């Protein structure tokens, strides 16, 4: 077992006080040292029930050292605590007696300095209120300690910057509103143009439809006219063919057709009719299919012409 060295724990204590503390705990130290030989002997014994019994008995003896030391500590500490409280009480009385006097004397001592600090603080608040009009807060700038000239220049610059920023923001807002108005007018113009184009397209479509209907009607009329003209031509051809057949038949059945024609013309007694009949016979002569028919038609036509000249 190591020897107990109390001096290491008492180095910072006053020498007389250290001796006194050492004296209080020396009996416990001596008691512990008296068990040194028996402690070493028990540690060297082999493990057995008898060894366990001896170890228990020695442990109980040695524990008395700790118990007595704790009792001594509590007793001595209580005394020290009482002394400490007494010392603190005396200090508090002296502190309270002195503090009030120190404060009053310090107020007198620092009167002008306090006035200056109060002036600077009030000036700082006033200048912060002034800067707030221009939406400026400068926590890093000591406004209260700034000279009047410096403050005047600083405020002028702040005001100028503020007015410049406000003017720029106003112009930006006006530009934004102007752009929005231009875009609105452009959208309305585009809408109007689309509406105009729609109406124009509708008008063109309607005109186209009407033109188409008109063209279809004209085409239908033209086709109807062509069909009517064709029909009339067919009727004319059919009439001519019938007339030719009648004349041919008339010319072939009678050996003296000129006498009969003269009799017929005389019965009509109209020079215009004779002329038209001669012209008609002349046309038929070119269309006749046989020579006999042509000869008969030529003879009949000549007879009509001669008769017309005698009227």
What pTM was estimated for this model as a whole?
0.34
- Give me the number of domains the chain comprises: 2
In a domain, 30, yes or no: yes
Lowest mean pLDDT among 8-17, 49-58, 150-159, 242-251: 242-251
How far, in Å, CA of 158 to CA of 127, rounded?
A: 12
Average pLDDT value for the chain: 78
| pLDDT confidence bin for 189, thresholds 50/70/90 | very high
Domain assignment of residue 261, given as a range: 254-310
In a domain, 194, yes or no: no
In a domain, 35, yes or no: yes
- Greatest extent of the chain over all pairs of C-alpha atoms, in Å: 202
Q: Would you say residue 250 has pLDDT above 50?
A: no
* Of 101, 130, 160, the domain-final residue: 101
Residues 81-94: tens digit of each pLDDT: 876 777 777 767 76
How long, in residues, is the chain?
Answer: 311
* Of 51, 67, 101, the domain-final residue: 101
Position 127 scores a pLDDT of 87
Nearest to 155 by CA among 132, 179, 175: 132
Q: Would you say residue 105 has pLDDT above 70?
A: yes
Query: Position of tokens 């001592």?
Result: 109
How far, in Å, CA of 271 to CA of 311, rounded?
A: 7
Tokens in use for 114? 């306090």
Residues 192-220: tens digit of each pLDDT: 999 999 998 999 998 888 888 888 888 88
* Of 57, 80, 101, the domain-final residue: 101
In a domain, 23, yes or no: yes
């Amino acid at each position: 077992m190591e020897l107990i060295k109390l001096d290491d724990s008492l180095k910072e204590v006053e020498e007389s006080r250290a001796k006194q503390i050492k004296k209080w705990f020396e009996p416990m130290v001596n008691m512990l040292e008296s068990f040194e030989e028996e402690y070493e002997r028990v540690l060297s014994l082999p493990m057995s029930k008898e060894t366990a019994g001896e170890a228990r008995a020695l442990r109980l003896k040695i524990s008395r050292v700790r118990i007595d030391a704790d009792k001594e500590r509590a007793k001595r500490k209580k005394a020290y605590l009482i002394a400490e409280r007494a010392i603190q009480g005396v200090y508090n009385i002296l502190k309270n007696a002195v503090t009030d006097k120190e404060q009053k004397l310090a107020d007198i001592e620092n009167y002008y300095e306090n006035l200056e600090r109060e002036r600077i603080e009030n000036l700082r608040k006033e200048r912060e209120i002034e800067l707030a009009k221009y939406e400026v807060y400068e926590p890093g700038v000591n406004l209260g300690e700034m000279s009047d000239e410096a403050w005047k220049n600083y405020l002028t610059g702040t005001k100028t910057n503020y007015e410049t920023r406000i003017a720029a923001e106003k112009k930006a807002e006006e530009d934004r509103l102007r752009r929005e108005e231009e875009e609105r007018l452009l959208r309305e113009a585009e809408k109007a143009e689309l509406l105009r184009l729609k109406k124009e397209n509708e008008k063109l479509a309607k005109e186209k439809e009407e033109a188409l209907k008109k063209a279809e009607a004209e085409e239908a009329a033209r086709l109807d006219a062509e069909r009517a003209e064709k029909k009339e031509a067919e009727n004319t051809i059919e009439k001519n063919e019938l007339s030719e057949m009648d004349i041919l038949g008339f010319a072939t059945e009678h050996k003296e057709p000129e006498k009969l024609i003269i009799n017929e013309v005389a019965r009509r007694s109209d020079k215009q009719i004779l002329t038209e009949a001669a012209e008609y016979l002349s046309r038929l002569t070119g269309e006749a299919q046989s020579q006999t028919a042509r000869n008969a038609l030529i003879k009949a036509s000549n007879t009509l012409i001669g008769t017309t000249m005698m009227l």
